[in-house]
Structure 1
Amino acid sequence: MKRLKSLMLLGVTIATLGLVTGCSGNSNNESSKDESQTRIVQSVKGEVEIPANPKRIVDISGSSEELALLGHTPVGTANVDSYETDKVPSYVQDKLGDAKVVGHSMMDTMDIEAILAAEPDLIIMAPRQEKIYDQLKEIAPVVMLEDRSNDWEAKLKDVAALFGQEEEAQKWLDNYYAKAEEIGKEIKEANGDQTYLTVLASSGQFMVFTEGGIGTVLKEDMKLPQPANMPEQDSITLPTVTMEGLTEIDADHIIVIATESDKADLKASTVWPQIRAVKEGNVTILDASPYFSQAYNPIGRELLLQSIKDEVVK
């Protein structure tokens, strides 16, 4: 009887192991099948076959924030701080901190060896890196996106289209614009009908964010008025004015993005204290790192909304 019970127990054990092994085998087959699936996407170079669900993306196009926002955190990135180009911007460290920095997205070449070491299953690049396209194709499938360096919204939509996430991106955009407009209303209620000027200090001169960067956050998204005497911007290049030029623009509130050196120049200047907004205490000075490039990317842009309110509402 004891032997019979032992044989029965052995039979049940074998059957159970077979069931577990069978389930495990199906799971592995499903996983393997999923990894082997591909799809065709459009790129600047035409149709490209990419993994259906890429797991190890290297992005050198400058679209890493868009990828992270949509749930595709890259293993390699060229989204770096404009002033500390060996690291990702501090405001997105929690989302991109584990990604290997392989270059600067605005440059035409990258660290090919670092890209190779990242073992990517998909590489995303921009036309400005055209000269390394053939090298990258030897490593993994490559998608070349349009250059949207001055159109953050179009860049987000391009990345979303690559993964079939257009609705998700649009929902995020709708929420962002609603939040921006609401915070803009709160600023106007607190400060009245002030005009706002945003500039980048640069060796005694100022690059004016007329139609780019942080200037569009205030003007287009938050609906805050600009001064009447704004210099025109007819290309991606920001117009430059002298300190006397700031006086002519005559904004109620000036937001200055500056390095420590440029801050020291402002402090030493005899003209700067004579500008009306400075006299009235309506000046906000933000660190060049990370604020200069923050507005060109979606996560950074959203974070700017509350930062701007906190600074300009006294």
Structure 2
Amino acid sequence: MRHKWKIGLIIMVLLLVGTACGAVNNKGEGTAPGSETPASSSNATDPTASPSSPTTRIVKSEKGEIEIPAEPKRVIGLSVVYPEFLYALGVTPVAVQNYHEEFQSYLEQPFKDTIKMGIAKTPNFEMILDSEPDLILAPAWWSEKDYDQLSAIAPTVLLPQRDDWRDELRDIGEVLGKQDAAKKVIEDLKNKEAKAKARLDELVKDETVLYLRIMDNGIIINGPNIDRGNFIHNQLGLKPVENYPQNESTLTVSLEVLPEYDADHIIVQLDDETKAELQDKYAHILNSSLWKNMKAVKANHVYMVGGKEWFNLGMAPLADSYAIDEVVSIFENKQQ
């Protein structure tokens, strides 16, 4: 019913605009050539008159040049990382796609009024429409198939796929006119990483660290060649086990094979800590003699981290910043 009311309002507005344009045209037809009405003459000759600020801008997208509001107020960022990018740039989205039932703790308060649309191959167009956005941002790989429907709701800017989240953040900063803000986010995080790396070098030294994710499809070891593992092993400098295959980004291993990667420390993340199936799987691992005989387990050097908090790790600045604090805290507390 609400949508019918909106459609009716749009039709009325169009009729009124058409009537007004007709009245202006009829008035022009009755005026002698070269003559002007007093109002138009005043605007043309007044030296103190200043043009109003433009209400729209033209930006580049994967669909060519797109006209968007000069200062968008109600923005939607599709994909699970775009909401973080927007908030890092000082923009709170009006609606987001969310993988977990609840927001990450670092977004819970700022997103308290943000609509959760869930995550699916096809976005919830009705909820997007109801949120009344004036701008939609999305990566092309995620939303190109939905572009016609999205652009019918609001100006939609599709951005290119990037291997590094920093380039994605710069792209969004360019669209929003927040290039300086994007640069500052990147520089601040880089400085924070450098300080954390130096501190961890003092705390952990040459001891090895294994980063495990317990997922529906098995036990996943994240190595230095993938976003998450790169964050742990390269950006923070935590040493991987020596026998980790250098050409592999991740390894899916069975419980029987896991002890072959016997590290001094193990960081464990449940992909979704609220899922009973994953909790049962992890409980089975904990009760296994294979697990209990691993070096890190014997030394009580196993650290559980939050699934939703680390979900965007290596792919978004706020997730990285949160994880830096948690990793440093883990190893500082271990020393006490």
Task: Tell me if TM exceeds 0.5.
Answer: yes
Cα distance between partner residues in 2 of 1:93 and 1:33: 38
Distance 1:126 1:167, change over 3 A: same
Cα distance between partner residues in 2 of 1:229 and 1:110: 42
Question: Does the 8 A contact of 1:197 with 1:215 survive in 2?
Answer: no
Alignment coverage as a number of residue pairs: 275
Q: How far does residue 199 in structure 1 lie from its aligned partner after superposition?
A: 1.3
Cα distance between partner residues in 2 of 1:172 and 1:203: 34
Question: Does the 8 A contact of 2:201 with 2:237 survive in 1?
Answer: no
User: In structure 2, the residue corresponding to 1:288 is in which secondary structure?
Assistant: coil
Question: Does the 8 A contact of 1:255 with 1:284 survive in 2?
Answer: yes
Question: Does the 8 A contact of 1:229 with 1:250 survive in 2?
Answer: no
Cα distance between partner residues in 2 of 1:33 and 1:101: 37
Question: Where does residue 32 of structure 2 map in the other structure?
Answer: none
Cα distance between partner residues in 2 of 1:221 and 1:265: 32
Amino acid at match of 1:165: K
After the TM superposition, which residues 4-153 of structure 1 pair with which residues of structure 2 at under 5 Å, given as runs?
Answer: 33-34=52-53, 37-61=55-79, 62-78=81-97, 80=98, 82=99, 84=100, 86-104=101-119, 107-127=120-140, 128-148=142-162, 151-153=164-166
Unaligned runs of 5+ in 1: 1-29
Q: How far does residue 232 in structure 1 lie from its aligned partner after superposition?
A: 4.8
Cα distance between partner residues in 1 of 2:78 and 2:216: 30
Distance 1:56 1:256, change over 3 A: same
| Residue 207 (structure 2) pairs with residue 194 (structure 1) | yes
Distance 1:39 1:212, change over 3 A: same
Q: Cα deviation per residue 1:140-180 (whole Å; 9 max; x = unaligned)? A: 100012234x6322221221122232332222212211211
Q: Cα deviation per residue 1:116-139 (whole Å; 9 max; x = unaligned)? A: 111111011223222221111111
Q: How far does residue 213 in structure 1 lie from its aligned partner after superposition?
A: 4.2
User: In structure 2, the residue corresponding to 1:243 is in which secondary structure?
Assistant: coil
Cα distance between partner residues in 2 of 1:135 and 1:202: 34
| Residue 320 (structure 2) pairs with residue 298 (structure 1) | no
User: In structure 2, the residue corresponding to 1:225 is in which secondary structure?
Assistant: coil
Question: Where does residue 279 of structure 1 map in the other structure?
Answer: 298
Distance 1:96 1:233, change over 3 A: farther
Q: Normalising by structure 1, report the TM-score.
A: 0.79
Cα distance between partner residues in 2 of 1:44 and 1:203: 34
Question: Does the 8 A contact of 2:218 with 2:252 survive in 1?
Answer: yes
User: In structure 2, the residue corresponding to 1:124 is in which secondary structure?
Assistant: strand
Cα distance between partner residues in 2 of 1:261 and 1:271: 17
Distance 1:233 1:42, change over 3 A: farther
Question: Does the 8 A contact of 1:282 with 1:312 survive in 2?
Answer: no
CA-atom RMSD in angstroms:
2.5
User: In structure 1, the residue corresponding to 2:309 is in which secondary structure?
Assistant: helix
User: In structure 1, the residue corresponding to 2:212 is in which secondary structure?
Assistant: strand
Cα distance between partner residues in 2 of 1:272 and 1:203: 19
Cα distance between partner residues in 1 of 2:217 and 2:180: 45
Distance 1:286 1:46, change over 3 A: same
User: In structure 1, the residue corresponding to 2:118 is in which secondary structure?
Assistant: coil
